[in-house]
Chain A
Amino acid sequence: MVALSPVAHGLARPDPRRVTLLLALGTLLLALLSLGTGAAGLGPTELLSALTGEGLDRRAQVILWDIRLPRLALGLMVGAALAVSGALMQGLFRNPLADPGIVGVGAGAGLGAVLAIVLGGLLPAGVAAFVGAHLVPLAAFLGGWVATLLLYRVATRGGRTSVATMLLAGIALGALAGALTGILVYLADDRQLRDLTFWGMGSLAGASWPRIGASLPLILPVLVLSPLLARGLNALALGEAQAAHMGIAVERVKRFAILGVAAAAGAAVAVAGGIGFVGIVVPHLLRLLGGPDHRHILPQAALLGGGLLVGADMIARSLVAPAELPIGIVTACLGAPVFLWILLRRKGGMGL
């Protein structure tokens, strides 16, 4: 008879629905805090009094509706987009180190955005009028899409992704996109240079309702539809062949994941510049917290990513107030150590 196995002591994981609820509450709290924080001295008490019907003066109304609310909305949207595209990409590459910012997808999207800013004027007037404010996000999406496709082709052989190849190919892609971006910057005129500098700072400072409107059509569908890929991404964790044997339409899952990454990461880069590490830190924290099931990771990433970016934006605005730090600096300071920590403690299943 088979020998008795030792009794297993498992790690108790929190109920995923409770995690989601707590994340939603935390993000809501941060959002309210963020609305009451800023250089104009409009604090939470004034905002509360506005809610209780005492009304705000004209100046306060402008600050709330035209500055703080769009900034909050952009932060939630961009953070959610970055985190969800990170989770999708990690699922696609079966690797917790994949992040649009690290493996060149952000640079590809950046190249697309710069192309649109510098050469957008050459478009026929009809086309320009048709795409309008959506031109930069669309171009960023296309740039991110091409970069993701190239990366997947280079880094994945026989259904397995090599971490080393993925990171090296990401460096090469990022360098190439950076060089092409450099050429375009060299060609740009003064007005375009100002647009580029403003865009490249990686900031939520340019938040406005039209900007949000321009990128929402790319980001919202990804946030809402990505959980449909969850079962496929879970199965892909065992490799492409195993996923196919489990009845997953592997090619379709890959195609939609790549499109989703490009749309969400591209649009985020287009409106907020290069904000790094949100895509890698958020899914990693969620896996530590409640396990790697993509059915929970994907919606939770949207909540935690949005909350994290709003929090980072508060730090960026308050550390050197009344000036502000580029938010990319804050996320890098928080995210880079986490990235190194993942590298240090990694073990089985990384597929190097």
Chain B
Amino acid sequence: MLETQDLHVTLGRREILRGLDFTASPGTVTAIIGPNGSGKTTLLRALTGEVPYRGRVNLNGHDIARTPGPRLAGFRAVLAQETHVAFPFTAAEIVRLGLEAGIGAHDPTLPERLLTEVDLPGYGPRPYHDLSGGEQARVQLARVLAQARQPVTPSGPGWLMLDEPVASLDIAHQLLVMRLAQRFARAGGGVIMVLHDLNLTAMVADRVLLMAGGRLAAQGAPAEVLADTVLQTAFGCAIRANTAPAEGPWVLPQSVLTGA
């Protein structure tokens, strides 16, 4: 279980997060959405302890501010929006870093198998810097999946925290990443991810946190949060949510000419 209590973050003199209370359960995918600058990434960085915050963040019952890093790394893996790699590591070496960070035994074929899972079969020996942006993003995802290779760990459910994991991916690979996130959650782990694409959110999220101005403008099931008036208020433009199809709500931006 992930719980926050009255979470505040102030960077410089600006208050970025203004008191957030929510919970996220293992076994579900939680999407954080919201307009640019609403505090999505800052929220994720507070949840991972990367920025100083006031309030509390509890993960599997541990106050993360008081839990040693190596312990947290055993049940929580984090994917940053961008990762710069110094030195000419190969794709397999990057994935191996994640394996060493996780708990439990692993065998030498695992990097290659994880790379295959993110659709990079045979990429192990390739230099990371020679890969395209989308391929690099998937190598980093494979590293994070390597660290969180047990959806349920001896110290409770595993957690994946992903900041815009599909930002540089084509549509097929966006869907692939969503499937991997969903599979992790179905196996008992918890997934928290920042997303921009409201349609992907509608498809994959079990719960949606809508951020606006450093606060939670709405939280709940996709059908509740991805509603016309909620979205139009938060994003300030004309959006229509179509709740009719069986797959869930589809969000349609209205014509640019009729925009806000």
Interface residues of A (CB under 8 A from B): 1-3, 5, 7-8, 10-13, 94-96, 160, 231, 234-235, 237-239, 241-242, 244-250, 287, 291-293, 347-351
- Nearest residue, chain B, Cβ from A246: B101
> Are A242 and B83 closer than 8 Å at their CB atoms?
yes
Complex Cα gap A94–B50 (Å): 19
Inter-subunit contact A245/B126 (CB<8 Å): no
Q: A241-B80, A291-B90, A349-B86 are in contact. Are A246 and B98 (CB under 8 A)?
A: yes
Chain A, Cβ-Cβ closest to B78: A245
Residue in B84, B93, B124 whose CB lies within 8 Å of A351: B84
A-B contact list, 20 entries, CB within 8 Å: A1-B172, A2-B172, A3-B172, A5-B120, A5-B122, A8-B120, A8-B125, A10-B125, A234-B93, A237-B89, A238-B94, A244-B50, A245-B69, A245-B77, A246-B100, A247-B71, A247-B101, A249-B69, A291-B89, A351-B86
- Docked pose: A264 CA to B99 CA in angstroms: 32
In the A-B complex, list the 6 residue pairs whose CB atoms are closest, starting with the nearest. A10-B125, A247-B73, A246-B101, A94-B86, A292-B87, A247-B70
B164-199 CB mask vs A (1 if < 8 Å, else 0) is 000000001101100000000000000000000000
Within 8 Å by CB of B87, from A1, A237, A242, A248, lies: A237
B residues in contact (CB < 8 Å) with A: 48-50, 68-74, 76-78, 80, 83-90, 93-94, 97-98, 100-101, 119-129, 147, 172-173, 175-176
Select from chain B the residue with minimum beta-carbon distance to A241. B50
Contacts of B48 in A (CB 8 A): 245
Q: What's the dominant secondary structure at chain A's contact region?
A: loop
Contacts of B98 in A (CB 8 A): 246
In the complex, given contacts A231-B100, A237-B89, A248-B101, what are 20 additional A-B residue pairs having Cβ atoms less than 8 angstroms apart?
A: A2-B172, A8-B121, A10-B124, A11-B126, A94-B87, A237-B85, A238-B86, A239-B83, A239-B84, A244-B49, A244-B69, A245-B73, A245-B77, A245-B101, A246-B98, A246-B147, A291-B93, A292-B87, A349-B88, A349-B129
B77, B86, B120, B127: which contacts A237 (Cβ < 8 A)?
Answer: B86
A347→B87 contact, CB < 8 A? no
How long is the Cα–Cα vector from A295 to B201 in the complex, in angstroms?
A: 42
Compute the total of residue contacts between A and B using a CB distance below 8 Å.
Answer: 116
On chain A, the residues within 8 Å of B83 by CB distance are 238-239, 242
CB pair A242–B74 under 8 Å, yes or no, is no
Residues of chain B lying within 8 A (CB to CB) of residue A349: 84-88, 128-129
Give the complex CA separation of A239 and B45 in angstroms: 14
Interchain CA distance A160-B83 in the complex, whole Å: 11
Q: Determine the chain A residues whose CB is within 8 A of the CB of B86 once the complex forms.
A: 94-96, 237-238, 349-351
**Smallest CB separation, B114 vs chain A (Å):** 14
Known: A234-B97, A245-B48. A292 touches B88 (CB 8 A): yes
State whether A246 touches B73 (Cβ < 8 A). Answer: yes
User: Given A245-B73, A246-B73, A238 and B50 touching (CB < 8 A)?
Assistant: no
Given the known interface contacts A244-B69, A245-B78, A349-B87, the answer about A8 and B126 at a Cβ–Cβ threshold of 8 Å is: yes
Please indicate the chain A residues that have their CB under 8 angstroms from the CB of B119 in the complex: 2, 5
**Assembly CA distance A245 to B100 (angstroms):** 12
Give every chain A residue within 8 A of B126 (Cβ-Cβ). Answer: 8, 10-11
Give the complex CA separation of A351 and B122 in angstroms: 28
